[in-house]
Structure 1
Amino acid sequence: MALWRGSACAGFLALAVGCVFLLEPELPSSALRSLWSSLRLGPAPVPAGPLSPEGRLAAAWDALIVQPARRWRRVAVGVNACVDVVISGVKLLQALGLSPGSGRDHAVLHSRSDLEEAFVYFMGKGAAAERFFSDKETFSDIAQTASKFPGAQHYVGGNAALIGQRFATNADLKVLLCGPIGPKLHELLDDNVFVPPESLQEVDEFHLILEYAAGEEWGPFKAPHANRFIFSHDLSNGAMNMLEVFVSSLEEFQPDLVVLSGLHMMEGQSKELQRKRLLEVVTSISDIPTGIPIHLELASMTNRELMSSIVHQQVFPAVTSLGLNEQELLFLSQSASGPHASLSSWDGVPDVGMVSDILFWILKEHGRSKSRSSDLTRIHFHTLVYHILATVDGHWANQLAAVAAGARVAGTQACATETIDASRVSLRAPQEFMTSHSESGSRIVLNPNKPVVEWHREGVTFHFTPVLVCKDPIRTVGLGDAISAEGLFYSEAHPD
């Protein structure tokens, strides 16, 4: 009888602890584990499904993501577009007869050896990168091998085309896309994307996307994260040949949002052509009617002089919004002598306080203010495990929903699911962080039930949210573009 009473008591207490899990999901897991272990009932149960931190965070996002009061009706996107050939990087390089040597970055790729060295350099860091391949014939041979390789996949590529595709998933939104669009790309584009006849060309531009999985090994190199290495010999996008077509199409299309990308493709051009083209970019942007927000999507770059010119030669003041990742943010700060510029690279997850300092500096030095005639009022920063939206006060609304929507689409697109599957994603964002390192910032403790954190600094508002990282990603290409497009879709710009 005593044994029976002891078992019944244990069962009752186990049921009681189970109820605590259900009714108090915010109670620290350490407290629950201590309670469970004190009863000597064996290993503590791990909340699954909607009660897991991932499930609670996803549910909180769904409640926060609401439509803006004023929605975009017509979005014009340009000017880089191509066909992405997606393939296993290790398998392709093996097929080309290459073996892993010493990893080394190259600003421009001139040979197969340069390709191998740059690929393993970034694979070892788990970092994304994009490079120009200077030798047309060698690139053509590699592209043919890649395109015919078993398992190679062809997708819409180029920041503008990918952003346009993402916008086109909203049936009530009209999307204009300008860029060098060949027959294969035109076939791949969504029916909701309108391409002006002047943008069509006879031959596609191909970009090779060499992917690798988290933990994948090649020789002494092991990837800490799933990511990709991109390279091309792309002259049409590099010269931004469709810029004038893009701007001239806007008068008839009458957009209420313009998205510009492709400036990074100019790295393969001479310095003289870069300077000339940047001036033409600024002139073209100035022709866009006042009051239409212009978002500039940045991408991987190695030319500090070009990045400095983009920052200083009136490109930043001419656009309203920026989208960029951790590599681009640090490179921008290094190129323009910003905060934490002495940092050679991020050590693992980018420090939230340092990222916040650089975002604040960009908006304070190059954004709109009473003493500066700049249009820049918004920056959408994205990295693997968290996102931040920074805005100058008084110019944007619905940014809490926007940052949450951008993070949510990162999890769904990487896992190729319609909604967040809590069993396939993991919460890897820092559990605690400081909001600044250059001043006395606040200490934030992450709460999955309230996943968007807001703080303010001298007229700039920051919205932070973690990302639910896909454990086994299906495809990493285009995530940044989908994130920026989704964040913009949920954003509301206040009219001037």
Structure 2
Amino acid sequence: MALWRGSACAGLLALAVGCVFLLEPELPGSALRSLWSSLRLGPAPVPPGPLSPEGRLAAAWDALIVQPARRWRRVAVGVNACVDVVLSGVKLLQALGLSPGTGRDHAILHSRSDLEETFIHFMGKGAAAERFFSDKEAFHDIAQVASEFPGAQHYVGGNAALIGQKFAANSDLKVLLCGPIGPKLHELLDDNVFVPPESLQEADEFHLILEYQAGEEWGPFKAPHANRFIFSHDLSNGAMNMLEVFVSSLEEFQPDLVVLSGLHMMEGQSKELQRKRLLEVVTSISDIPTGIPVHLELASMTNRELMSSIVHQQVFPAVTSLGLNEQELLFLSQSASGPHASLSSWNGVPDVGMVSDILFWILKEHGRSKSRASDLTRIHFHTLVYHILATVDGHWANQLAAVAAGARVAGTQACATETIDTSRVSLRAPQEFMTSHSEAGSRIVFNPNKPVVEWHREGISFHFTPVLVCKDPVRTVGLGDAISAEGLFYSEVHPDY
């Protein structure tokens, strides 16, 4: 009887607390939680009220992100790999005795002065960039200071290694990685990553990653966004030395997806070597059995002739999928006389309609069609505040999940959280936008409850979703590679491809 009375009293008190919630919604939540916990009735109910736009968007993503019907089993990734030394850019340059001068971009860095000017140029824009440092001895000296700098961290680096590492987080996937892999990098790699013996070398290639935070200042310059500047003197990756090892490993490994990156590393090579290597890349891709999709991950470039060659010398038609960011997209259009090529740079957030026009042009000019024997049918575009997945109709499935998964991982990886923490991210994507500026596009008004927006244009489908941007990012390096890997993981290619 006493037990029954105790249960009845608890039930009545619980009912009373429920009434308080309804009748006094303005009562401080802490008081209500204290009352509830004193009854020892378990976790307090959440007071009624609308979720934030970030919370609604994250919840809608979770409902959309479903596994594809046909999943990858074996993924081969190559061919650029290195050790990233990550540290504060401003602090390193100060340690090198440099002071902020006039920001100026240099296509190739020849000196510490070039490094300082180019870093300032991109820090002032809050934009990511990557450059080759031509002086071996000067780079070695800078790298030694950076490696020994207090707080410097060593990570897996290089697009291929980072993408392979991200895929390896899925224990049911087998991952092959080919690249110049030294002892430090081999130690850092996931146990689930298989490295052919021919890929191992005695010394590591080091890349220096100079990070800066949003609002960080150096002299008169202030970073509008958190980002990073990368530079290296990397000859192994620059010559794509592991390309042949990579292709020869595919026959035994038998992948159902191939990911290629590292073409941008050739910028430090002569024009003759660039042309020769690109032809060998196309030949190597052609040796991959029909039906195995090949994804090409692009990266920051400054050599328009090299980019134009990548577009026109049959590289684009030879690959199935592309991954790139806003700088690479505009540079590609400028190099190959595409839409909006007269635009010198993006003014803040890249215009969705302009991005859509360039993606459409790439797939129309270089993608698969009835009149063109091209394999290119997919582009995953990512920028800080939104992503777009553009696909030629009839070749890919699960695009809603793929673009949402890519955007979600940008928020979790930047904040170093397992799931989206809505208190640490913000929705900064445009709330209204046009889907095109080259033709009469549609005006879209974004709704966080429906986070993936879809539109179509002449046999090409576009899937847009915002990114929940981390307010205080822990690490910006490798976000693009994680985004591309996650988007590919959730993508499904049709079996008749």
TM-score, shorter chain, exceeding 0.5:
yes
**Aligned-residue identity in percent:** 94
Closer/same/farther in 2, CA of residues 2 and 217 from structure 1, 3 Å limit: farther
Alpha-carbon contact 2:210-2:230 (below 8 Å) kept: yes
- Segments of structure 1 that go 5 or more residues without pairing to the other structure are none
Q: In the superposition, relative to structure 1, how do residues 346 and 182 fare at CA in structure 2: closer, same or farther (>3 Å)?
A: same
Q: 1:37 to 1:176 in 2, by over 3 A?
A: closer
Deviation digits for residues 309-356 of structure 1 (CA, Å, limit 9, x no counterpart): 000000000000000000000000000000000000000000000000
Note if contact 2:29-2:47 (Cα within 8 Å) is conserved in structure 1: no
How far apart, CA to CA, are the structure 1 residues paired with 2:36 and 2:183? Answer: 63
Once the two structures are TM-superposed, the CA of residue 130 in structure 1 deviates from its matched residue by: 0.1
Number of matched pairs: 496
Residues 180, 237 of structure 2: 8 Å contact kept: yes
The C-alpha deviation readout for 1:78-111, integer Å capped at 9, x for no partner, is 0000000000000000000000000000000000
Would the aligned equivalents of 1:387 and 1:465 in 2 still touch at CA under 8 Å?
yes
CA distances 1:288-327 after superposition (whole Å, capped 9, x unpaired): 0000000000000000000000000000000000000000
- 28 and 199 in structure 1: CA distance in 2 versus 1, 3 angstrom threshold: farther
Alpha carbons 1:385, 1:428 under 8 Å: kept: yes
Give the match's secondary structure for 2:296: strand
Instruction: Quickly say closer, same or farther: Cα 1:30–1:360, change in 2 above 3 A.
Output: farther
Shift of 1:9: 30
Consecutive aligned runs of 4 or more in structure 1 exceeding 3 Å deviation: 1-50
How far apart are residue 46 of structure 1 and its match?
15
**Match of residue 104 from structure 1:** 104
Q: Secondary structure at the match of 1:207?
A: strand
Q: Following TM superposition, by how much is the alpha carbon of 1:264 offset from its aligned partner in structure 2, in angstroms?
A: 0.1
- Gap change, CA 1:91 and 1:373, over 3 Å in 2: same
Provide, for residues 136-165 of structure 1, a one-character-per-residue CA deviation record: whole Å limited to 9, x for no partner: 000000000000000000000000000000
Q: Is contact 1:393-1:459 (8 Å) kept?
A: yes
- Give distance in 2, aligned partners of 1:67 and 1:237: 34
Cα distance change on mapping 1:229 and 1:11 into 2, 3 Å: farther
Provide closer, same or farther for how the CA distance between residues 33 and 400 of structure 1 changes in structure 2, counting only shifts above 3 A: farther
Greater CA drift, 288-297 or 40-49: 40-49
> Given that residues 174 and 193 in structure 1 are in contact (C-alpha distance below 8 angstroms), is that contact kept between their aligned partners in structure 2?
yes
Judging changes above 3 Å, is the alpha-carbon distance between structure 1 residues 112 and 365 closer, same or farther for their aligned structure 2 residues? same
Please state whether the residue corresponding to 1:50 is helix, strand or coil: coil
Displacement of 1:70: 0.2
Q: What does residue 461 of structure 2 align with?
A: 461
How far the C-alpha of 1:236 sits from its partner, in A, is 0.1
Deviation at 1:495, TM superposition (A): 2.2
Residue pair 1:205, 1:234 contacting (<8 A) in 2 also: yes
Greater mean deviation of Cα atoms: 37-46 or 289-298 = 37-46
Residue 18 of structure 1, CA deviation: 14
> Which residue in 2 is equivalent to 1:42?
42
Task: Kindly state the Cα deviation for residue 2 of structure 1 after the two structures are TM-superposed.
Answer: 44
The Cα offsets for residues 368-398 of structure 1, whole Å up to 9 and x where unpaired, read as 0000000000000000000000000000000
Unaligned runs of at least 5 residues, structure 2: none
**Cα distance in structure 2, aligned partners of 1:345 and 1:24:** 54
Shift of the 5–408 alpha-carbon distance from structure 1 to 2, 3 Å rule, reads same
Pairwise CA distance, 1:42? 33
CA 1:14–1:199 in 2, change beyond 3 Å: closer, same or farther?
same
Flag the 1:268–1:68 CA change in 2: closer, same or farther, 3 A: same
Q: Which moved more, 1:36-45 or 1:349-358?
A: 36-45
Distance 2:257 2:461 in 1: 22
Q: Is the 8 A contact 1:26 1:449 kept in 2?
A: no
Shift of 1:27: 23
Contact 1:50 1:422 in 2 (8 A): no
Change (3 A) 1:252 1:11: closer
Matched residue of 1:429: which SS? coil
Superposed CA deviations along residues 236-272 of structure 1, whole A, max 9, x for unmatched, are 0000000000000000000000000000000000000
Q: Give the distance between the partners of 2:171 and 2:40, measured in 1 at CA.
A: 56
Q: Matches of 2:355 and 2:9 in 1, distance apart?
A: 52
SS at match of 1:462: strand
Q: How does 1:351-366 map to 2 (within 5 A)?
A: 351-366=351-366
Closer/same/farther in 2, CA of residues 10 and 164 from structure 1, 3 Å limit? closer
If the length of structure 1 is used for normalisation, what is the TM-score? Answer: 0.91
SS of alignment partner, residue 448 of structure 1? coil
Partners of 1:234 and 1:303 in 2: CA distance: 17
List per-residue Cα deviations over 1:444-479 (Å, max 9, x = no partner). 011111000000000000000000000000000000
Check 1:259–1:43 CA distance in 2 against 1; reply closer, same or farther (3 A cut).
Answer: closer
8 A contact 2:54–2:427 mirrored in 1: yes
CA distance in structure 2 between the aligned counterparts of 1:488 and 1:159, rounded to whole angstroms: 14
Counterparts of 2:27 and 2:317 in 1: how far apart (Å)? 47
Change (3 A) 1:40 1:352: farther
Q: 1: distance between equivalents of 2:347 and 2:30?
A: 28
